Amino acid sequence: MTYEQLPSLLTIREVGAIIRFDYNKSAKIVRTINDELEKKGFVVMKGRISKQVLFERLGIERASFNINDLKPPKKEELNNAERF
């Protein structure tokens, strides 16, 4: 599945599939980003996040994204995700 094939608003489960994290960690990431957006005056939906915002915030390149090419995260990558 490519970036264009993803729905505009992603659920927590879809976020988890993209970033290869469990549901709880994915929910925390979505909640953190949505809280930041809400403080800036944006309208957010609980449990959903714009794919554009997610990709920009996590530094995922849209042009080369293909969910089938993803590999499980390395231990170092998981440690870096603790900031959420």
For residue range 54-79, list pLDDT tens digits in order.
999 988 888 878 877 766 666 666 56
Q: What is the number of other CB atoms lying within 10 angstroms of the CB of residue 23?
A: 11
Query: What DSSP character marks residue 73?
Result: P
For residue range 17-42, list pLDDT tens digits in order.
898 899 999 999 999 999 999 999 99
pLDDT band at 80; cut points 50, 70, 90:
low
The amino acid present at 41, given as its one-letter code, is G
Q: What is the number of other CB atoms lying within 10 angstroms of the CB of residue 24?
A: 10
pLDDT at 1: 80
Q: Give me the residue spans of the domains in the chain.
A: 3-72
